[in-house]
Structure 1
Amino acid sequence: MSNSFSVVVWSKKGCHYCTEVKEYLNNHNIAYQDIDVTNDDDRRDILDIKYGVRHVPVVEIGKGEVYEAVTKVGIQYVQEAIDRIKKEKDSLLS
């Protein structure tokens, strides 16, 4: 699985929404890095500082200067962000 962009999923064990996001990415052959916050409040602190949230999943999607974090829960928000990143990447290549 190779992307033209990077994906990081902040998740925790037992989180239905986190599992849904990772299954979606796997089903679409989108490679990602998983950061598990289950037993690590310091990682939740990072999410709070970066995005003002302590919940998961948070999905970070980026390529070069084009970067976006999805903090809303729902696959549609992840897909919209991926589509925007791909579009931005394509417009930079034109």
Structure 2
Amino acid sequence: MSKDLSIVVWSKQGCSYCGDVKDYLEKNGYEYRTVDVTEHDDRRDILETKYGVRHVPVIEIGRGNRYEAVTEVGVEHLESALGRL
């Protein structure tokens, strides 16, 4: 769908919210990369430093010089961010 978008989904195994995000992206034709934080506290440390959260999912979306991170849980927040970019 939007090949000029860069999407990174920070997730962990067994996270139903993470699965909802990935399902949404796949159903709507978005390509994404996953960063798995399962058993990787150092990756959660990165999220805490960048966004002040340790939970997942966190979705990073970029296009050109614009970049946005979605830290709120719920597909509606992802949809809103995709609409702004």
How far apart are residue 2 of structure 1 and its match?
Answer: 5.4
Q: Write 1 or 2 for the structure with the bigger share of helix.
A: 1
- The equivalent residue for 1:28 is 28
Which residue pairs with 1:7 in the alignment?
7
Across the two proteins, how many residue pairs are aligned to each other? 85
> Where does residue 55 of structure 2 map in the other structure?
55
Compute the TM-score of the two structures, normalised by the length of structure 1. Answer: 0.87
- The 4+ residue runs of structure 1 with deviation greater than 3 A are none
Task: Tell me if 1:69 matches 2:64.
Answer: no
Q: Residue 79 of structure 1: CA displacement?
A: 0.6
Gaps of 5+ in 1: 86-94
SS of residue in 2 equivalent to 1:4: coil
SS in 2 for 1:68: strand
Deviation for aligned residue 1:3: 2.0
Determine which structure has more spread, i.e. the larger CA radius of gyration.
Answer: 1
Q: Structure 2: how far apart are the matches of 1:23 and 1:76?
A: 13
CA RMSD of aligned residues (A): 1.0
Q: Distance in 2 between matches of 1:2 and 1:64?
A: 12
How far apart are the structure 1 equivalents of 2:27 and 2:34?
Answer: 16
Percent of residue pairs bearing the same amino acid type: 58
